[in-house]
Amino acid sequence: GFSWTAYYDVDDIYGYLHNMSLKHPDWAQVVVGGRTYEGRQILGLRINTPTDEDKPVMFIESGIHAREWITPATTTYFINELLTSPDPEIISMRDQFDWHIFPTVNPDGYHYSYTRDRMWRKTRSRSQNGCYGADPNRNWDYNWMNYSSSNNPCNYQLYAGSKPFSEIETRTLSEYISGLENMLGYIAYHSTAQTLLLPYSDSSEHVDNYDDLKKIGETSLRYGYAVNKARYDGPGTAAEILYKASGGSIDWVRHTQGTPLVYVYELRGVYFSWPPSRIHEQGDEVTQMMVGLVKEARNLG
Ligand code: 0X9
Ligand code: ZN
């Protein structure tokens, strides 16, 4: 069976999502967020418990970078918490939103990292000169190619693609996102800078609700800290506390969709490695970070 003491390949993660939808058919369903170069689907779980009113959407993007294995593992852990936890705080968080949760939005890359090259980061599209993959977090259609981006398809990490949305993964996922009405939050998980980032990633400009985002982020980190005493940097813009990077998903989401709550959580680990025996620890921390985020967001209205 599926557990949180090991890392799993894509098919097992997708199997878990299917099992959960069979177990909770009334409020959990598998959704297709997009397609990949190698013909996979980008699968997620939509969790939407029955209520009278329409609920705001909370979107979770995970695993856009293939080698950041802790992110899909944490995300399925979080799904399991939403589905099974008896904690009233977690139940209340679950019931407030229409959740769209995608544990691995770059499944071709993740499978390649899992089976061939642990440090693989990009997609697996083949370019004309025979090199593989683009960085899917440099490929979104907003300020494409400005910072921390390469135009060389053979660049192992930062090739931004031949044009904005050249990658079928980012293009199809962006279409899915555009189709969502009333998206309140978009949360992306990365690793391993142990940092909480706000938009924008490629400019020092502050978004109009920067102060709220900062306050909500601080509460989120405080809730996370209570679990393991792990200190995260931030919250702050990538330009302020990490480095400027263009073409990232959160910048596109914020700019084109106007989503109010947009964050990148860089989770823990050392050079993309994190012991499988400690997935629980990271999972509980992220769950509490989400509880804190949702609480403070509601306080601020
Ligand atoms: O460079 C990135 O894409 C992220 N760091 S990582 O080490 N996981 O690759 C930072 C993402 C910051 N946000 C955006 N660039 N949108
Ligand atoms: Zn990353």
The tokens 């970078």 sit on which residue?
65
Q: What is the pLDDT of residue 4?
A: 98
**Helices 279-299 and 210-228 meet at what angle, rounded to 10?**
140
Dist. CA 190 → ligand 2 center (Å): 4
Q: 139: closest CA among 122, 156, 127?
A: 122
What single-letter amino acid sits at 85? S
Nearest CA to ligand 1 atom 14: 248
What single-letter amino acid sits at 225? Y
Distance between CA atoms of residues 159 and 149, nearest Å: 6
Phi, psi torsion values for 112, nearest 5 degrees: -65, -40
- Write down the number of H helices and E strands in the chain: 9, 8
CATH number of 10-299: 3.40.630.10
Helix (H) or strand (E) holding 47: strand 41-47
- Judge whether 81 counts as a catalytic residue: no
Q: What is the ipTM for the molecules in this complex?
A: 0.95
CA-to-CA separations, 203 to 24, 25, 146, 251, in angstroms, rounded:
43, 43, 10, 10
Ligand 1 atom closest to residue 200's alpha carbon, by position in its atom list = 16
**HEC assignment per residue over 200-255:** CCCCCCCCCCHHHHHHHHHHHHHHHHHHHCCCCEEEEEHHHHCCCCCCCHHHHHHH
Dist. CA 263 → ligand 1 center (Å): 11
Dist. CA 68 → ligand 2 center (Å): 6
Distance between CA atoms of residues 5 and 133, nearest Å: 30
Helices (H), the chain: 10-23, 70-84, 88-96, 107-115, 168-178, 210-228, 238-241, 249-252, 279-299
Side by side, which strands form the sheet with 98-102? 28-35, 41-47, 98-102, 57-62, 183-191, 261-267, 195-198, 233-237
Distance between CA atoms of residues 4 and 39, nearest Å: 27
What does the block give as tokens for 193?
A: 């800078």
What does the block give as tokens for 81?
A: 């918490």
The tokens 């089976």 sit on which residue?
115
Would you say how long the chain is, in residues?
301
Q: Which residues lie with the beta carbon below 6 Å from any ligand 1 atom?
A: 65, 68, 137, 190, 193, 197, 201, 238, 242, 245, 248, 250-251, 264, 266
**Mutate which of 69, 266, 271 for ligand 1 pocket (most atoms within 8 A of beta carbon):** 266
Domain ranges in the chain are 10-299
Per-residue pLDDT of the chain (301 residues; tens, 9 = 90+): 899 999 999 999 999 999 999 999 999 999 999 999 999 999 999 999 999 889 999 999 999 999 999 999 999 999 999 999 999 999 999 999 999 999 999 999 999 999 999 999 999 999 989 999 999 999 999 999 999 999 999 999 999 999 999 999 999 999 999 999 999 999 999 999 999 999 999 998 999 999 999 999 999 999 999 999 999 999 999 888 989 999 999 999 999 999 999 999 999 999 999 999 999 999 999 999 999 999 999 988 7
Residue tagged active-site, from 81, 167, 169, 266: 266
Beta bridge partner(s), residue 41: 35
Helices (H), 40-195: 70-84, 88-96, 107-115, 168-178
DSSP 3-state percent helix, strand, coil across the chain (nearest 5): 40, 20, 45
